[in-house]
């Protein structure tokens, strides 16, 4: 009913469930539309309008459904990106009882769902940065699972790391997070390794949304 009413008035708007954003040309027009729409909802549809969340403002200072409109482009709100990263951090936390493949599975389903909704407003640089950060978190998880020096050395050798480097890293007392950034760790647990075991790429999901024709 509200959609038809707004269309009959000639307004441009976005609505999902009980969230709606109406676009007009001036602040005065915005105040008038807010008042008339509130009256329509409360008197005709008997719907209570939350006055605290209802406001008139510039497009670039407003948000709807987790997005801002920035120079005619959608931008995912920073707090949504932070929430995404926080959940990814939870999935890749240092817990030896969770297998790498279980983490890969959870990362895939969560990232696909989040990107399906918010990916259209995510910056490309953020997608690339998230990919690198996820891989480093997983490298840290590998170090946590290997734990003992002998196993560390054995696993690094399996991954093709040179014997001397494998021994040095295997005997290192550095933290798991610091070890996850070493050149030898990156060489053994490289991008090709993670692609082989099925790690989802945020960058690839971004490209499928923004560059569907050119994505391979």
Give the confidence band of 214 by pLDDT, cuts at 50, 70, 90.
Answer: low
Least confident range of 4-18, 58-72, 99-113, 159-173: 58-72
**Residue 20 belongs to what domain range?**
2-57
Cα–Cα nearest to 152, from 139, 170, 136: 170
How many structural domains is the chain composed of? 2
Whole-number pLDDT of residue 72: 75
The pLDDT tens digits for 13-26 are 888 777 888 888 88
pLDDT exceeds cutoff 90 at 120: yes
Mapped onto helix, strand or coil, the DSSP state of residue 21 is strand
pLDDT tens for each residue of 82-97 = 999 999 999 999 887 8
Q: 123-134: per-residue pLDDT in tens?
A: 999 999 999 999
In a domain, 171, yes or no: yes
200 and 117 inside one domain: yes
| Digit-coded pLDDT (tens) for 75-85 | 999 999 999 99
Q: What rounded mean pLDDT belongs to the chain?
A: 91
What does the block give as tokens for 106?
Answer: 């959870």
Q: Is the pLDDT of residue 60 over 80?
A: no
Q: CA 12 to CA 65: how far, in whole Å?
A: 16
| Mean pLDDT of the 55-63 span | 81
> How sure is the predictor about 102, in pLDDT bands with cuts at 50, 70 and 90?
very high
Residue 215 domain-assigned (yes or no): no
Residue 130 placed within a domain? yes
Shared-domain flag, residues 30 and 133: no
Same domain, 103 and 204: yes
Asked whether residue 108 falls in the same domain as residue 149, the answer is yes
Residues 34 and 140 in one domain: no
Contacting residues for 58 by C-beta, under 8 A, at least 6 apart: none
Q: Per the domain annotation, does 64 fall within a domain? A: no
One domain for residues 165 and 84: yes
Residue 69 lies in a domain: no
Same domain? 155 vs 88: yes
Residue 15: the pLDDT is 83
pTM of the model: 0.81
Q: Which residues of 24-45 are buried (b: 16+ CB within 10 A; e: fewer)?
A: beeeeebeebbeebeebbeeee
Same domain, 52 and 82: no
Q: Is residue 67 part of a domain?
A: no
């Amino acid at each position: 009913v509200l959609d038809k009413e707004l269309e009959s008035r000639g307004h441009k708007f976005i609505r999902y469930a009980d969230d709606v954003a109406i676009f007009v040309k001036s602040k005065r027009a915005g105040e008038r539309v807010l008042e008339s729409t509130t009256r329509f909802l409360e008197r005709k549809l008997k719907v209570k309008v939350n006055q605290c969340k209802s406001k008139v403002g510039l497009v670039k200072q407003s948000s709807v459904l987790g997005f801002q409109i920035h120079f005619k482009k959608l931008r995912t709100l920073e707090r949504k990106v932070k929430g995404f990263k926080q959940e990814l951090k939870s999935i890749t936390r240092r817990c030896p009882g969770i297998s790498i493949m279980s983490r890969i599975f959870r990362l895939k389903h969560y990232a696909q769902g989040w990107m399906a909704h918010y990916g259209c407003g995510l910056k490309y640089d953020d997608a690339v940065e998230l990919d690198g950060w996820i891989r480093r978190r997983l490298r840290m998880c590998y170090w946590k699972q290997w734990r003992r020096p002998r196993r560390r050395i054995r696993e690094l050798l399996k991954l093709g790391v040179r014997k001397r480097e494998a021994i040095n890293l295997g005997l290192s007392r550095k933290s798991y997070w610091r070890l996850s950034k070493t050149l030898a760790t990156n060489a053994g647990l490289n991008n090709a390794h993670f692609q082989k075991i099925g790690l989802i790429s945020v960058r690839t999901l971004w490209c499928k949304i923004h560059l569907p024709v050119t994505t391979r």
